[in-house]
Amino acid sequence: MFASPQRLIDGEIAELKRFGYTPALGPNGDADPDWAGMWELLKGDFATVARAHVPTYGEMTVWPQEGARIYMRRRLLADRLFEEVQSLYQRLHSDGINGELVEAYTLARDAYEEAVMDFGKARETLEDIFTRTIDTQYA
């Protein structure tokens, strides 16, 4: 007997919940970012001489939209990690330098830098998706 895709996903969710996973609030809940608005701020990163028209979020089909959401999620994660770095940096100056705090700052800084690299990789992936989809539509 084969497990259905939904049963496999449900099993994954149950496993993740053991480690504190909680699902987002739903398709239009408070946890749902304004993807279209955020995309308007970021889409200029994809404008080129050959791609004068970068589509709005609503103009994209499912595949590029998912790539755009991954790109934006990676940016959001980098933003949160940057805030942690800032907080620890401020603590270093207010609480004084100590080994534990320096190590925490270093750990947070490394995580932030990795997130920035992941954001860059997501940009490259979305660029490839646009080359294969968007660019062919407007060629």
pLDDT tens track for 24-63:
555 444 567 889 999 999 999 999 888 888 999 999 999 9
Whole-structure pTM value: 0.78
Residues 6+ away with beta carbon under 8 Å from 64? 55, 126, 129, 130, 133, 134
Identity of the amino acid at 28: N
Summarised one tens digit per residue, pLDDT across range 96-113 is 889 999 999 999 999 999
- To which residue do tokens 């954001």 refer? 119
Would you give the distance in Å from CA 61 to the centre of its chain?
19
Q: What mean pLDDT is reported for the chain? A: 85
Rounded alpha-carbon distances, angstroms, from residue 101 to 51, 81, 97? 47, 16, 7
